[in-house]
Chains A and B, each alone.
Chain A
Amino acid sequence: MFPDKFEYYAPKSIEEAAKFLDGHEDAKVLAGGQSLIPLLKLRFTSVPEIVDIGRIKGLDSIVFQGSAVEIGPMVRTSEIGENSSIRKKFPVLSEAAGHIADPLVRNMGTIGGDICHGDPANDFPAVMLALDAEFEISSSRGKRTVKAEDFFVDTFATALEPGEILTGIKIQDTGSSGRYMKYKKYAGDFSILGIAVNLLMDGKKVKKAGIGLTNCGATAIKAKDAEKFMNGKDLSDENIEKAAELIVKACDFMDDDNGSVKFKEKLLKNLFVKAVKGIGGVPK
């Protein structure tokens, strides 16, 4: 299978890429291509021009600076999963990376592509929401910063305007810890649903909760009510149960091939409890 014809452009700098995108509104940015190329091959979509940002230097680095980490959009999913500092400081991010597709896809696929694709079943968006990440977005008009919670608009739709490129992901290290739980039908599959839970604790009480949901609606969802409820509370069974109720309320489930609404609600609650209690392993 071949994609429809397109022009290929591989700029060497962000400025060059932004300039090209300015004159080519329908051009599509290519990162690792593990979502875009299958779509092009199946002819679900076709684009007149492809802008490959893989040759821009500096977009594939992970830099810890002060209390934050800055991750370039071209960092491969496998590198996210294997980076020992990320594993230590943001375990929820490492765990999610290990759940994405398969090792071969993870060697090409990038964190930036996973985020910008806007697929509700992609795993990194939920993690970004749980960690309150900030995205640096560049265009010929300059740079702007968008919070993860303002970024995911709808299915395959993000806050990226025409001509804009995601050029950096910034996450604050607050000393929190988290888990990512994903339920899938078989190895390498997309989520039936997934949940990222990140907790900053103050003794036995939650100081700040971050909860992101994968495939629980039209796009990745931040369970704000549940987060608010958990802040300042301890992790008693009763509180966890109440938070789980609020998480389910934030979802927009539909009956489909993956199961009924009832099944998904129950599954999500179970995954949440497992994530909070830190019990390893999702049901196989």
Chain B
Amino acid sequence: MMVTVKINGKEYSKDVEPRTLLATFIRDDIGLTGTHIGCDTTNCGACTVLMDGRAVKSCTVLAAQADGHELETIENEADKELSMVKESFIEENGLQCGFCTPGMIMTSLYMLRKNKNPSEDYIKNSLAGNLCRCTGYVSIINSIKNANEKINGKKAVVK
């Protein structure tokens, strides 16, 4: 079946099997390998992308479900806010091995767009669907606070 999606502003059309998952569609059919597949069981969130602005786990979405929708992935260099989140992760050492990072960054972008005045609790709760097995999350949370200052121009409220 034909699946047509807009990814990072560019339209792609591919003929795929109905059982193709969005994560493999993005990686194997389109060739954008920045989106990672971690657990492949809807737990880790490494495959997080934005679909019509909402963060979803692309390993648990059919490419067919995304047909006609707009996606944003870690590769979107035109998105200034996304670049700010990336910089923040570098500045605050929000990664070690980097495998979970594409998902972490997409979820961070989503949560900061949704809430312009985030509390630390909000940041933690919003990260519930993303696992990192290296950092222990403190540096990730610091990265998101840093990103919030860059994007929303405010410090995150502690508690």
A87 to chain B, nearest CB (A): 16
B contact residues, total (Cβ < 8 Å): 32
B112 to chain A, nearest CB (A): 13
Interface positions of A (Cβ within 8 A of B)? 1-8, 10, 30, 33-34, 37-38, 40-42, 50, 52, 54, 76, 78, 101-105, 107-108, 187-188
Interface positions of B (Cβ within 8 A of A)? 1, 17-21, 24, 40-43, 45, 48, 51, 54-57, 59-62, 64-65, 67, 107, 111, 125-126, 128-130
Contact of A37 (CB < 8 Å), options: B24, B54, B61: B61
B103 to chain A, nearest CB (A): 9
**Alpha-carbon distance A33/B62, docked complex (angstroms):** 8
Query: In the assembled complex, which residues on chain A have CB atoms less than 8 Å from the CB atom of B21?
Result: 2, 37, 41
Query: In the assembled complex, which residues on chain B have CB atoms less than 8 Å from the CB atom of A105?
Result: 42, 57, 60, 129
**Alpha-carbon distance A38/B61, docked complex (angstroms):** 10
23 of the cross-chain contacts (CB-CB < 8 Å) are A1-B41, A2-B19, A5-B17, A5-B18, A6-B18, A8-B1, A33-B61, A33-B62, A37-B60, A40-B19, A41-B41, A52-B62, A52-B64, A102-B129, A103-B55, A103-B125, A103-B128, A104-B107, A104-B129, A107-B54, A107-B55, A108-B56, A187-B128
**Alpha-carbon distance A105/B58, docked complex (angstroms):** 10
> Given A3-B19, A5-B17, are A41 and B57 neighbors across the interface (CB < 8 Å)?
no
Query: In the assembled complex, which residues on chain B have CB atoms less than 8 Å from the CB atom of A33?
Result: 60-62, 65
**Alpha-carbon distance A1/B47, docked complex (angstroms):** 14
Query: In the assembled complex, which residues on chain A have CB atoms less than 8 Å from the CB atom of B48?
Result: 104
Q: Is the CB of A8 within 8 A of B18?
A: yes
**Alpha-carbon distance A5/B55, docked complex (angstroms):** 27
Query: In the assembled complex, which residues on chain A have CB atoms less than 8 Å from the CB atom of B20?
Result: 2
Query: In the assembled complex, which residues on chain B have CB atoms less than 8 Å from the CB atom of A52?
Result: 62, 64-65
List 5 additional contacts besides A33-B62, A41-B41; criterion CB under 8 Å.
A3-B19, A4-B19, A37-B60, A107-B51, A188-B128
Query: In the assembled complex, which residues on chain B have CB atoms less than 8 Å from the CB atom of A76?
Result: 54
B40 to chain A, nearest CB (A): 5
Q: Is the CB of B19 within 8 A of A6?
A: yes
